[in-house]
Structure 1
Amino acid sequence: MSLSVRKNVTAGVPAALAALALLTAGCAGQDDDTSSRKGSSTASATPHGYVEGAQEAAEQQSRLVLNDPVTGDTRTLDLITGRTYETSRTTGATDLTTDGRFGYLHAEDGTRVLDTGAWTVDHGDHVHYYRAAIRDAGRFPAGPGARVRGDAAVTAVTGEDGRATVYRRAGLEKGRVGTPRTLPGTHAGPVVPYAEHLLTLTRDGRNGTPKVAVYDRAGGRVTSPDATCEDPAGDAVTRRGVVFGCADGALLVREDDGHFTAERIPYDRGLPAGERASSFRHRAGSDTLTAPAGDRAVWVLDVTERTWTRVETGPVVAANTAGEGSPLLVLETDGALHGYDTATGEPVARTGRLLTGDPRAGTGGRGPVIEVDRSRAYLNDPEGSRVHEIDYNDGLRVARTFDLDMKPALMVETGR
């Protein structure tokens, strides 16, 4: 895939990032053609962690995928080098999601798969970080409303009709979608790959309450925990297991030595109308989830402690947190980013106005989002054609601002 490369106007690039950019400069640009590099000679053993076509790096190789649904402009912003790569247009995208490496642009004619060339492999006692060329990997025949979830082995695509197909991840990594396997039955929520299995919520009968179901990767039904989830909405994969949002709280499904269990995490008080959690956002690898609680509050779900905390805020546009003692980050209708203590609910920091225009009226009807990694948060300003990088551990300091030649109405972070 032919890519155009632009250098962003940035300010205050940290010395560590600059040093890392020099360290990885040999694979930073697409003109380096990392996808064509071959393995070492047969005279030497293949290094541990070697991946053909990719270069291993010392730090996480974060990138942002950005899209303007109106014009179709699509960019990948390399947060290490500050370069922006122009990729094929995707017009009319209704959503943009990721599994940590691939960006999925959902549109009427299907879901476009973009390999962002940045990912992490966690071996438990150590981690590998990789970067490679950015390229298109094809398209799933599933349009708006499709849910895409993936792990290191498979990618599951669940359509609005509840039907699900499973693709081999190895094919996507080689730049092709391949032929999927169809999962039996219909599903009330997304099929989620987890612990070498597929978790889902199915209905026994047309109007039955959805129940947890566990399949192997070949599509065979295995023993499932006896647990239901009324009116499911929202899901997240954490280190403690998979969380499904339900009418009465959350359902945590865990695996231990091949045995699956389900545990309810109910709201600890009466739930006001319109305040249930219906979508979750969190830092990849974190066990702290956030979700809007109506228009003026945010739920914080501590999966480790099995507790919900309702934090009263101003009018909420977007929310997220890095967890583990970090502040709750809330974009409010004043266009500023606000930080709250997740334990006490007290305000701890606030930026000036960061967004141009009405924060609730993003390009194409999509509002801004907050992406969070281990050290920074990213806030897209569609009308201002820019992305802000926030140091949430330093009083919400604006560390860098990336000026763009398009309106980034949709945004996800990869490399995780």
Structure 2
Amino acid sequence: MFVRRNVTAWVPTALVAVCLLTTSCAGQDDTASAPRTTPSASAPHGYVEGAQEKAEQQSRLVLNDPVTGDTRVLDLITGKTHEVPRTSGTTKLTTDGRFGYFHTAGSTRALDSGAWMVDHGDHVHYYRAAIRDVGRLPAGPGSRVRSDAAVTAVTDKDGRARIYRRAGLEKGKVGSARPLPGTHAGAVVPYAEHLLGVTDDGKVAVYDREGKRAASPDAGCEEVRGDAVTRRGVVLGCADGALLVREADGTFTAEKIPYGDDVPEKERATAFRHRPGSDTLTAPAGERAVWVLDVGERTWQRVKTGPVVSANTAGEGSVLIVLETDGALHGYDIATGKQVSRTKPLLTGAPETDSAGPAVPVIEVDRSRAYLNDPKGKRVYEIDYNDNLRVARTFDLDIEPALMVETGR
């Protein structure tokens, strides 16, 4: 793999409070494949067996060609790619920040990318470890995987959910699962030491981690599609807008964030993308516009664009980044809706669309950079979205990265 650098190679820096600023947070060994050791009574705060703690975000990209099955993990710190076992016939690739989930016709394969973070609120721990194959979950097409620090919930296309202990996946084993009673209209989402779902009749349901019903807010979400976990709560996409479900002192409440106008079904927000940790969500709003949902302000903004392939934003005053059918990235000021930046066409050939299958180029965003995959060109672009969408690095690959997710965030 060769990296073309447009500028001096960028090395990410931590933009949040990290463990080096906290005397109780000590670093770990400096090799990604450090031998596993047994924690002792003197193990430092933040100790994770078999991993090293780092001072900055350890971002990696998981990449897959669903036709050939070729799969790579691109380490954005070192610029090196790692070859991992093939997965053919992938219909969707998702992540929970550490694991890549390859959804196929018969099951969902879990890959530990070896990069993740733990947010303690006032400080953050960043970790890196060896990449390894975990195994397959019994969930095929249409399944949805959602996780928190303790559990992973897998909801199949029929709405049945099974709950896995996170500790098992972290040790490299899928393990047994606990079924959640009933069926659900959308994904079951772990949140605030509970499990949040929407029943088939559109009612919000809250369960404890053992699967028992807990007190639920008296709220509904008709035609639920799309969900996102933010610092302010869980956002669910509904027919009339969004529903924000929050927890405080063990009590769950729900608040509607309506569109404000009647929105045609084809223009509703049904799949959210955002920078992890951000409260600004994006979603396509038909063919030539993007929804921006400010969860903090409880407002929707519909930004008119060119024909949309994919979109994302870092939030907090950053531009809305839209990949349009001309193959270029376009930056829009969210407040005014005006285009403020544009790249040259970056994709090789016409970009795929949702109707063409799973191979839709995506925009992944972290605290400093954005990443765009160019499947036909066998490359990934690193974009400095704070500098007029400047191409900071180009990673040339030996596979067609039709599917991509970022981990370590």
What TM-score results when the alignment is normalised by the length of structure 1?
0.92
8 Å CA contact 1:69, 1:364 repeated in 2: no
1:396 matched to 2:396: no
Contact 1:389/1:398 (<8 A) preserved = yes
Any idea what the Cα deviations from partners look like across 1:202-257, whole Å, max 9, x if unmatched? 03xxxx3x100000000000110011111111100000100000000000000000
SS at match of 1:129: strand
Counterparts of 1:330 and 1:162, CA distance in 2: 32
Contact residue 301 and residue 308 of structure 1 kept, 8 A? yes
> What letter corresponds to residue 187 of structure 1 in structure 2?
H
Does 1:140 pair with 2:137? yes
Change (3 A) 1:365 1:169: closer
For residues 86 and 350 of structure 1, the distance between their equivalents in structure 2, rounded to whole angstroms, comes to 33
**Equivalent runs, 1:136-285 vs 2, <5 Å:** 136-203=133-200, 208=201, 210-285=202-277
For residues 100-126 of structure 1, give each alpha carbon's deviation from its aligned partner in whole angstroms, at most 9, with x where no partner exists. Answer: 000000001200000000000111111
**Superposed CA offset, 1:60-83 (max 9, x none):** 000000000000000000000001
* Residue 401 of structure 2 is aligned to residue 408 of structure 1: yes
Task: Count residues with an aligned counterpart.
Answer: 396
CA contact 1:70–1:364 (8 Å) conserved in 2: no
Query: Structure 2 CA distance, aligned partners of 1:122 and 1:25?
Result: 20
The alpha carbon displacement at 1:8 in A equals: 3.3
**Structure 1: any 5+ residue segments left out of the alignment?**
1-6
**DSSP-derived class of the 1:10 partner:** strand
Counterpart-to-counterpart distance in 2, 1:18 and 1:120: 14
Query: Which residue does 1:17 correspond to in 2?
Result: 11
**Is the 8 Å Cα contact of residues 29 and 52 (structure 2) preserved in structure 1?**
no
The AA in structure 2 aligned to 1:309 is Q
* Alignment match, 1:38: 37
Give, in angstroms, the shift of residue 332 of structure 1. 0.2
Contact 1:76–1:86 under 8 Å retained in 2: yes
Matches within 5 A, 1:54-69: 54-69=51-66
* Cα distance, 1:315–1:19 mapped onto 2, change above 3 Å: closer
- TM-score between both structures, scaled by the size of structure 2: 0.93
- Runs of 5+ in structure 2 lacking a partner? 15-26
- Please give the alpha-carbon distance, in whole angstroms, between the structure 1 residues aligned to 2:46 and 2:29: 20
Corresponding position: 1:87 with 2:56: no
Q: AA paired with 2:133?
A: D
Instruction: Name 1:3's counterpart in structure 2.
Output: none
Shift of 1:294: 0.3
Q: Give the Cα–Cα distance (whole angstroms) in 2 for the partners of residues 168 and 262 of structure 1.
A: 27
Return the alpha-carbon distance in structure 2 between the equivalents of residues 135 and 116 of structure 1: 7
Structure 1 distance, partners of 2:87, 2:31, is 26
**Aligned to 1:319, which of 306, 311, 324?**
311
Residue 8 (1) aligns with residue 10 (2): no
In structure 1, C-alpha distance between the alignment counterparts of 2:12 and 2:208, rounded to whole Å: 45
CA contact (8 A) 1:331 1:337 kept: yes
1:372 and 2:368 correspond? no
User: For 1:367 and 1:122, how far apart are their aligned partners in 2?
Assistant: 30
**How far did residue 37 of structure 1 move?**
3.4
What is the CA distance between 1:10 and its match in structure 2?
Answer: 3.1
- After superposition, the Cα gap between the structure-2 partners of 1:387 and 1:327, relative to the gap in structure 1 and judged at 3 Å, is same
CA–CA separation in structure 2 for the residues paired with 1:300 and 1:177: 36
User: Structure 1 counterpart of 2:324, which letter?
Assistant: E
Q: Using a 3 Å threshold, how does the CA distance of structure 1 residues 236 and 350 change in structure 2: closer, same or farther?
A: same
Q: Deviations over 1:168-219 (max 9, x none)?
A: 000000000000000000000000000000000003xxxx3x1000000000
Q: Which amino acid aligns with 1:55?
A: Q
Residue number among 279, 284, 305 corresponding to 1:292 in the alignment: 284
User: Match of 1:80, SS?
Assistant: coil
Secondary structure of 2:11's partner? helix
For 2:191 and 2:7, how far apart are their aligned partners in 1? 37
Which residue identity is paired with 1:367?
Answer: V
Rounded Cα–Cα distance in structure 1 between residues aligned with 2:110 and 2:196: 22
1:310 matched to 2:309: no
Give the secondary structure class of the aligned counterpart of 1:353: coil
SS in 1 for 2:3: coil
Q: How far apart are the structure 2 equivalents of 1:16 and 1:355? A: 22
1:27 alignment partner in structure 2? 31
Any conservation in 1 of the 2:92–2:358 contact (CA below 8 Å)? no
Distance 1:15 1:65 in 2: 20
Q: Identity of aligned pairs, percent?
A: 72
> In 2 relative to 1, CA 255–25 (structure 1 residues): closer, same or farther, beyond 3 Å?
closer
* Root mean square deviation of aligned Cα: 1.9
Contact 2:6 2:391 in 1 (8 A): no
Structure-1 residue corresponding to 2:17: none
Structure 1 pair 408/183, CA: closer, same or farther in 2 (3 Å)? same
